[in-house]
């Protein structure tokens, strides 16, 4: 079995909490390509952005484990530029996937009644006087997150469901069943590592404290509320006319 994870402080914490033999099988890839890799390799499981399921309907997904955020702690933050005259465009940078592209458009339409133009920036340094949604650990460089607005919190507050950022998916139903049998207890180990500050060696002390203080809003063991969040998240692009049909999810 191969495991494909996006690379960020949360997925690295998951890797470190896995049984040693399974942790060695984790490969870090850009989030946007993981679903495609899993589709090509039937002996693999990927932690994929949830909205990738729109284009990869054949994948089986775990109903028990994933990465869900219920409050301000998350992997993506919005940085509003006070010099920008209006909110009609936003730049996306970092480990961007279909989830951020779709959800930022829906979120801004809901909050500001505007159809925002999404632009991809290879580096935030090239953005002048624009608003930015930054995805990944660069939020924790130089404590940048403390100036941002939590993408997860905005989604939770606006739509009233948990923001399930990533979900375990595979072309093989049997592999998802196998993983579901391995992962009980991993969530507790993640919390214990965070509480003991045995994580995030490459982020600042302030960022580690922020994650530690807010770790209760990071969910690894999914419950019915999180599953409802997945279902509603998948339905939003259909309800907003972005896609023409509702994706039927293949839970295991």
Q: Is 211 exposed, middle or buried (0-12, 13-18, 19+ CB in 10 A)?
A: buried
Query: For position 28, what pLDDT does the model report?
Result: 98
The region, left, alpha or beta by phi > 0 then psi within -120 to 50, assigned to residue 200 is: left
Buried b (16+ CB within 10 A) or exposed e, 21-52: eeeeebebbebbebbbebbebeebbbbbbbbb
Query: For position 201, what pLDDT does the model report?
Result: 77
**Which residue shows structure tokens 């935030």?**
124
Compute the chain's Rg from CA coordinates.
17
Query: For position 200, what pLDDT does the model report?
Result: 75
Q: Hey, do 2-68+161-251 and 76-159 end up sharing a CATH topology, with the first three levels equal?
A: yes
Per-residue 3-state assignment (H helix, E strand, C coil) for 128-141: CCCCEEEECHHHHH
Q: What is the pLDDT along the chain (252 residues), one digit of tens a residue?
A: 999 999 999 999 999 999 999 999 999 999 999 999 999 999 999 999 999 999 999 999 999 999 999 999 999 999 998 877 778 899 999 999 999 999 999 999 999 888 899 999 988 877 877 899 999 999 998 889 999 999 999 999 999 999 999 999 999 999 999 999 999 999 999 999 898 877 777 788 899 999 999 999 999 999 999 999 999 999 999 988 888 888 899 999
**CATH H superfamily, domain 76-159:** Periplasmic binding protein-like II (3.40.190.10)
Query: For position 199, what pLDDT does the model report?
Result: 77
Q: Helix, strand, coil % (nearest 5) of the chain? A: 45, 25, 30
pTM higher than 0.85 for the full model?
Answer: yes
Domain extents in the chain: 2-68+161-251, 76-159
User: What is 2-68+161-251's CATH topology?
Assistant: D-Maltodextrin-Binding Protein; domain 2 (3.40.190)
């Amino acid at each position: 079995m191969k495991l494909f994870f996006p690379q960020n402080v949360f997925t690295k914490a998951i890797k470190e909490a896995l049984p040693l033999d399974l942790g060695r099988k984790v490969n870090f890839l850009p989030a946007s390509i993981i679903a495609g890799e899993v589709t090509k390799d039937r002996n693999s499981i990927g932690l994929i952005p949830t909205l990738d399921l729109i284009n990869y309907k054949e994948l089986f997904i775990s109903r028990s484990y994933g990465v869900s955020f219920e409050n301000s702690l998350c992997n993506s933050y919005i940085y509003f530029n006070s010099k920008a005259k209006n909110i009609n465009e936003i730049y996306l940078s970092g480990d961007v996937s279909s989830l951020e592209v779709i959800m930022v458009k829906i979120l801004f339409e809901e909050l500001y009644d505007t159809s925002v133009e999404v632009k991809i920036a290879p580096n935030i340094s090239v953005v002048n006087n624009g608003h930015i949604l930054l995805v990944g650990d660069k939020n924790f460089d130089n404590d940048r997150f403390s100036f941002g607005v939590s993408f997860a919190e905005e989604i939770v507050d606006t739509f009233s469901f948990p923001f399930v950022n990533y979900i375990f998916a595979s072309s093989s139903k049997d592999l998802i069943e196998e993983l579901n049998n391995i992962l009980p207890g991993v969530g507790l180990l993640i919390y214990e590592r965070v509480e003991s500050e045995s994580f995030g060696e490459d982020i600042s002390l302030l960022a580690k404290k922020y994650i530690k203080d807010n770790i209760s809003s990071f969910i690894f063991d999914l419950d019915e509320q999180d599953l409802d969040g997945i279902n509603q998240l998948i339905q939003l692009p259909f309800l907003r006319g972005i896609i023409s049909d509702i994706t039927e999810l293949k839970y295991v």
